[in-house]
Amino acid sequence: MPLRPSSMYSLVRMPSRAIYRRVVVSQQLTSFTYERTYRTTAFRRNLSEDESAMLQEPREEDEADVVIVGGGPAGLAAAIRLKQLELERGKQVRVVLLEKASDMGNHTLSGAVIEPKALKELLPDWLEDPPTTLTPVKSNKMRFLTEKYSIPLPEPPQMHNSGNYIVSLSEVVKWLAAKAEELGVEVYPGFSVNELLFDQSGAVAGIATNDMGISRAGAPKDNFQRGMEFRAKVTLLAEGCHGSLTKGVIKKYDLRRGKDVQTYGIGLKEVWEVPEENWREGEVLHTMGWPLTSKVYGGGFMYHFGERLVSVGLVVGLDYANPWISPFREFQRMKHHPIYSNVLKNGTCVSYGARALNEGGLQSVPKLIFPGGALIGCSAGFVNVPKIKGTHTAMKSGMLAAESAYNAITSDTTNESAIALYDYEDNFKKSWIFEELNEVRNVRPSFHNPLGMYGGILYSGLDTLLLKGRVPWTFHHKASDAASTQPADKFKPIDYPKPDGKLSFDLLTSVARTGTMHNEDEPVHLQVKDWDAHTTSSYPKYQGVESRFCPAGVYEYIPDETKKEGVRFQINSQNCIHCKTCDIKVPAQDINWVCPEGGDGPKYMLT
């Protein structure tokens, strides 16, 4: 009988040296069968008839007016808005919100300095009962770093932060979730969704939650629990950056036609408790330059908030070409620069995490609606890159979608066909989200030029200070992040310094701080069709790029003389912190990230 891990306290799967589990090099398949549901529970060929029957058991069904997949700022803002409209106008709507994290806010990670614009619109008296750890921004610094020095830089106007707040977005999400529940939203953390339901016309008709209790080989275990279906008139996908359902929906309904590919960055951060003398409440610092070279987009940040807490992190654009780059190790060495170490020294690191974020801007926003639902928040991608803010636009998009959905659901029409939220798309184009993103649309793409960062800074300076996007041209993202990766033999391996255990840390210590946990006996949720074939196609060319871009040590190439390339590909799915970087950056795009069982993944604190 399968057991919980024998030690409740040992969770981080130690790559290589630890006790070997019997790793099933499995053929996990994802079949996006567009006629039916997305079947992502892998079937091994030798399942018994009984087992197959169990996996196909009909599910219990329930109905809701609106189902929201994802409980971040966008999803919660949409839920709250729907219930506010119910109070205003009287017609009831059942709103069900599903979140894969074990608790609201556990998978939320962001800098974060938020602009309260959307928050004020949604909850005008939010300051009367504010979230915990809300620190008004007091000072703003921008610096260009070389290995030892820091040079002050003028700030673009977008980065002025007066009226903004430094927060732990995880805490804000908890606070929003409490508000949503008060208003009557059914909030269910601990349930992940990999499957959309479709009706005969091919429109989205709802969702099905994941089956729980499936073994690594794909067979039902003793505690197997079939998922549940929710039929919904409107399904809002609020999965955050590069959502897994979103990926499928964009493909199925061709939502990217005429739009640029989405480009991304990876944001890694830590939260530190620092000594009183190093802490300056409300200080916001952004840095560019070292340790990133001129060819890599990105920058560091450090925010002083809460009670002697500091959020420190690094964002690295995932369009980097050099496969030897390790964003994690860049982040760790960045902290040794005096401008950071002077704050962090003698402090304690309490939390670590990472998440991909959108950098594509307006050009990469796909068509937002599909029959039966819509994309909101970072699933669509509304981050204002020069401002480095996306929470306000995400929330506003949730609110706009909610208004459109409420009107559609409560209208008196007898039309039986699936709801199309045309209002939402139209209102988005008329909203301040569009205006903001339009103004800065050329900033990020201006970095795709031969001068790299310097060309980008020059153009961006011009655009943000003078032109403000009022130009007839729009730069485009020519290639996806995955395609921008170049072979390893074009570059030299980077010699990163060893972590010192006080300011910088090794990967596994950091992963332990995320509280991430996946059952040992669970299907590997990072789906690669054939691990050996992947090694053959990827390792000689990129020399293990996956092991470097993953901020959690999920991917490893272990020396193995019995294999053709001398290494064996291994996926330590238990370490995964759900950042989605692998799905974005793997050059051959042969890693498919799907949601593991509900409740799995990190348990972020104060991020």
Partner 1 sequence: MPLRLNIVVPVKRVIDFAIKPRINASKNAIETNGVKFSLNPFCEIAVEEAVRLRESSKDLVESITLVSAGSAKAQDTLRAGLALGADKATLIEIPAIDDSKSLELEPLAVAKLLRAFVKKSNANLVIMGKQAIDDDSNQTGQMLAGLLNWSQATNASKVTVDEASGVVTVSREVDGGTETLSAPLPLVITTDLRLNTPRYTKLQDIMKAKKKKTEKVSPESLGVDISSRLEILSLSEPPKRTGGGKVDSVDALIGKLKETGAI
Piece of 7-15, 245-253, 353-361, 396-404 that binds partner 1 (CB under 8 A): 7-15
**Rounded to 5 degrees, what are φ and ψ at 143?**
-135, 150
CB of 47 to partner 1, least distance (A): 20
Pairing of strands 165-167, 60-69: unpaired
Residue 469 CA to residue 110 CA, distance in Å, equals: 27
Residue 324 CA to residue 328 CA, distance in Å, equals: 12
Piece of 6-14, 361-369, 395-403, 526-534 that binds partner 1 (CB under 8 A): 6-14
Piece of 354-362, 432-440, 576-584, 597-605 that binds partner 1 (CB under 8 A): 597-605
Piece of 36-44, 183-191, 282-290, 431-439 that binds partner 1 (CB under 8 A): 183-191
- How many other C-beta atoms can be found within 10 angstroms of the C-beta atom of residue 497? 11
DSSP 119: H
Q: Does 135 bind partner 1 (CB under 8 A)?
A: no
- How many other C-beta atoms can be found within 10 angstroms of the C-beta atom of residue 223? 10
Write the binding mask 49 to 78 for partner 1: x where contact by CB under 8 A, - elsewhere: -----------x-x----------------
Piece of 3-11, 46-54, 557-565, 581-589 that binds partner 1 (CB under 8 A): 3-11
Residue 590 CA to residue 481 CA, distance in Å, equals: 14
In this chain, which of 171, 439, 463, 481 binds partner 1, going by CB under 8 A? 171
Q: Does 184 bind partner 1 (CB under 8 A)?
A: no
Taking the least distance from each CB to partner 1, the nearer of 273 and 560 is 273
Q: Does 470 bind partner 1 (CB under 8 A)?
A: no
Tokens of 61: 């069904």
* H/E run at residue 169: helix 169-182
In this chain, which of 38, 43, 191, 253 binds partner 1, going by CB under 8 A? 191
- The DSSP string of 425-477 is HHHHHHSHHHHHHHHTTTTGGGGSSTTTHHHHHHHHHHIIIIITT-SS-----
Q: Does 213 bind partner 1 (CB under 8 A)?
A: yes
Q: Total residues contacting partner 1 (rule CB under 8 A)? A: 43
In this chain, which of 170, 379, 442, 460 binds partner 1, going by CB under 8 A? 170
Residue 581 CA to residue 584 CA, distance in Å, equals: 5
In this chain, which of 41, 106, 150, 287 binds partner 1, going by CB under 8 A? 106
CB of 578 to partner 1, least distance (A): 14
Q: SS3 of 111, please?
A: coil
Query: CA angle, corner 345, sides to 292 and 347, nearest 5?
Result: 115
Q: Does 605 bind partner 1 (CB under 8 A)?
A: yes
CB of 606 to partner 1, least distance (A): 4
Q: Does 346 bind partner 1 (CB under 8 A)?
A: no
How does 460-496 read in b/e, with b if 16+ C-beta sit within 10 Å?
beebbeeeebeeeeebebeebbbebbeebeeeeeeeb
Active site residues: 110, 355, 391, 550, 576, 579, 582
Residue 122 CA to residue 358 CA, distance in Å, equals: 24
In the region spanning residues 257 to 286, those forming contacts with partner 1, defined by CB under 8 A, are: 273
- Cβ atoms of 101 and 109 closer than 8 Å: no
Tokens of 174: 């908890």
Write the binding mask 223 to 262 for partner 1: x where contact by CB under 8 A, - elsewhere: x-x--x----------------------------------
In this chain, which of 29, 54, 217, 350 binds partner 1, going by CB under 8 A? 350
Q: Does 521 bind partner 1 (CB under 8 A)?
A: no
Amino acid at 414: T
CB of 604 to partner 1, least distance (A): 9
Q: Does 304 bind partner 1 (CB under 8 A)?
A: no
Q: Does 302 bind partner 1 (CB under 8 A)?
A: no
Amino acid at 314: L
Distance of CA 125 to the CA centre of its chain: 29
CB of 272 to partner 1, least distance (A): 12
- Cβ atoms of 395 and 74 closer than 8 Å: yes
CB of 171 to partner 1, least distance (A): 6
Residue 206 CA to residue 68 CA, distance in Å, equals: 10
Residues forming contacts to partner 1 in the complex (CB under 8 A) are: 1-4, 6, 8-9, 11, 60, 62, 102-103, 106, 132-133, 168, 170-171, 186, 188, 190-191, 209, 212-213, 222-223, 225, 228, 273, 307-308, 348, 350, 512-513, 515-517, 597, 603, 605-606
